[in-house]
């Protein structure tokens, strides 16, 4: 995850200070790994996703990660900062 954020995330505007990697601790599944990003709006998120779709290294990273992910368990959640 850290390598992906460093090598691929930086290409879509996720700088070194933007993401946080979290894992389950108390009351959460231990095997959960979560990447958290703070963005100014949904437009920024959409532009990042559009750019991700064009990066060949991202496609390869997804294939390399696939054996370590239980199919159907990944999900996106979007929160608003108050």
What distances in angstroms separate CA 76 from CA 1, 52, 81, one per listed residue?
16, 15, 16
Positions of E strands within the chain: 20-23, 33-36
77 found inside a domain? no
38 found inside a domain? yes
Q: What is the pTM of this model?
A: 0.69
**Per-residue pLDDT of the chain in tens (82 residues, 90 and over written 9):** 888 888 888 888 876 666 788 888 898 888 888 888 888 889 988 998 899 889 988 888 888 888 888 888 778 888 888 8
pLDDT of residue 54: 92
pLDDT of residue 43: 92
Domains of the chain: total: 1
63 found inside a domain? yes
């Amino acid at each position: 995850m850290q390598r992906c954020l460093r090598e691929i995330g930086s290409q879509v505007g996720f700088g070194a200070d933007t993401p946080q990697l979290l894992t389950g601790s108390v009351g959460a599944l231990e095997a959960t790994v979560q990447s958290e990003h703070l963005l100014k709006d949904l437009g920024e998120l959409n532009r990042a996703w559009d750019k991700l779709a064009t990066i060949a290294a991202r496609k390869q990273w997804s294939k390399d990660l696939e054996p370590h992910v239980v199919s159907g368990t990944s999900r996106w959640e979007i929160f608003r900062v108050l």
